[in-house]
């Protein structure tokens, strides 16, 4: 933080002399450090662009993803920027729709897994002892469950709507968040302000929700961001194997899977959704990287 001090002092020089030197607020520091991470900033712009394209563009585009046009199997053209498949579906419309679904699924997974993982980890780390042992052994158990096998059983047994796929993935991914949060909480619980809060007569639940979790927010946000990227890839993998989103609905994974046989004859069907998967996963990873640096107060180096 030392390189911020000079700026911080300059900022305060026109304030009344009686005021102590003002440091930057936590949020300002985080934002500043994030903005210094160029890859993360570019990724954020790109990611927001993809979201806008998928949700706004998808609604405005002249074809719906389910429309069957009169021109099957045409390569990219002005009329069909990403071409069409053998039934005449406009690939651009389908990719936009698939992107919507994939992002929705990923965000739902991140939200659910983040929420459950945070609470689980916070309680486990805060109470320690036998509670911790039992809760963490359960986490270990969840971590050993093979995702593909569980997903195969559960999605086959049900309709396979997109939110159910998200639910299944979240049910297996929260354990990673729980582990990280527990580790952070184990050190946070020894902080003096936790002790001070206890000395003020606060209940355990109050301390966990008001003092422990807010202070663990940095690592939590970072992990959830990384989880979003992982979730996109897992959803893609599941859909590719036919265990995720079921037709007629579509997702990026499903599109790649359906086009798998046509790579050499109609490559546009395969490469366009593939590029979207790579772009989304990559940008979110970079954003997570930038957030991790931003929330780490020991990070001082300017990143390229």
Partner 1 sequence: MTGRETVLEVEDLTVSFPTEDGLVRAVRGVSYDLRQGEVLGIVGESGSGKSVTSMAVMGLLPGSAKVGGSVRFRGRELIGAPDKEMRSIRGGRIAMVFQDPMTSLNPVYPVGDQIAEAVRAHNDVSAAAARERAVELLAMMQIPRPRERARDYPHEFSGGMRQRVVIATAMANDPDVIIADEPTTALDVTVQAQVLRALETARAATDAAMVLITHDLGVVAGTADRVLVMYAGRPVELGSVDDIYYEPRMPYTLGLIGSLPRLDNARRGDRLIPITGSPPSLLELPPGCPFAPRCPMRQENCETAEPELLAASTADHLAACHFSADLEGRRPEDVFAQTSVDNAGGAR
For partner 1, the closer of residues 138 and 206 by Cβ is: 206
Write the binding mask 6 to 25 for partner 1: x where contact by CB under 8 A, - elsewhere: ------------x-x-xx-x
Write the binding mask 106 to 145 for partner 1: x where contact by CB under 8 A, - elsewhere: -----------------------x----------------
CB of 62 to partner 1, least distance (A): 49
Q: Does 298 bind partner 1 (CB under 8 A)?
A: no
- For 193, counting Cβ atoms within 10 Å of its Cβ (0-12 exposed, 13-18 middle, 19+ buried), the class is exposed
For 124, the token pair is 């486990």
Which range binds partner 1 by CB under 8 A, 74-82, 208-216, 229-237, 284-292?
208-216
Which range binds partner 1 by CB under 8 A, 135-143, 159-167, 200-208, 222-230?
200-208
Crossing angle of helices 267-295/252-259, nearest 10°?
150
How many residues are given for the chain? 304
- Residue 72: helix, strand or coil by DSSP? coil
For partner 1, the closer of residues 21 and 66 by Cβ is: 21
183: phi > 0 → left, psi -120 to 50 → alpha, else beta; which? alpha
From candidates 80, 211, 266, 292, binder to partner 1 by CB under 8 A: 211
CB of 224 to partner 1, least distance (A): 18
For partner 1, the closer of residues 191 and 303 by Cβ is: 191
From candidates 5, 26, 77, 261, binder to partner 1 by CB under 8 A: 26
Q: Are 251 and 101 in contact (CB under 8 A)?
A: yes
Q: Alpha helices of 189-266 — where are they, by DSSP H?
A: 192-199, 204-206, 213-240, 252-259
Q: Is the dihedral of CA 198, 185, 224, 257 positive or negative?
A: negative
161: phi > 0 → left, psi -120 to 50 → alpha, else beta; which? beta
Give me the residues that bind partner 1 (CB under 8 A), please.
18, 20, 22-23, 25-26, 129, 191-193, 195-203, 206, 210-211, 214-215, 217
């Amino acid at each position: 933080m030392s390189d911020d001090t000079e700026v911080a002092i300059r900022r305060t020089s026109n304030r009344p002399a009686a005021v102590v030197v003002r440091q930057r607020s936590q949020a300002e520091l985080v934002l500043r450090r994030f903005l210094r991470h160029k890859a993360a900033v570019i990724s954020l712009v790109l990611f927001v662009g993809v979201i806008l394209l998928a949700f706004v563009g998808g609604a405005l585009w002249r074809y719906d993803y389910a429309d069957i046009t009169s021109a099957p199997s045409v390569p990219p053209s002005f009329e069909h920027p990403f071409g069409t498949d053998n039934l005449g579906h406009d690939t651009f419309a389908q990719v936009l729709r698939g992107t919507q679904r994939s992002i929705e699924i990923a965000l739902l997974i991140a939200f659910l897994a983040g929420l459950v993982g945070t609470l689980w980890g916070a309680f486990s780390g805060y109470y320690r002892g036998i509670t911790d042992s039992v809760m963490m052994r359960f986490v270990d158990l969840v971590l050993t469950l093979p995702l593909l096998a569980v997903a195969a059983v559960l999605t086959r047994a049900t309709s396979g709507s997109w939110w159910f796929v998200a639910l299944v993935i979240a049910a297996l991914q929260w354990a990673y968040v729980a582990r990280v949060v527990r580790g952070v909480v184990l050190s946070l619980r020894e902080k003096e302000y936790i002790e001070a809060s206890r000395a003020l007569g606060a209940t355990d639940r109050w301390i966990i929700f008001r003092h422990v979790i807010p202070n663990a927010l940095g690592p939590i946000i970072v992990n959830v961001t990384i989880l979003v990227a992982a979730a996109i890839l897992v959803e893609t993998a599941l859909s590719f194997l036919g265990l995720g989103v079921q037709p007629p609905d579509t997702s990026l994974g499903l599109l790649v899977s359906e086009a798998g046989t046509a790579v050499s004859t109609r490559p546009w069907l395969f490469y366009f959704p593939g590029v979207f998967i790579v772009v989304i996963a990559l940008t979110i990873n970079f954003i997570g990287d930038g957030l991790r640096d931003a929330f780490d107060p020991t990070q001082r180096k300017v990143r390229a």
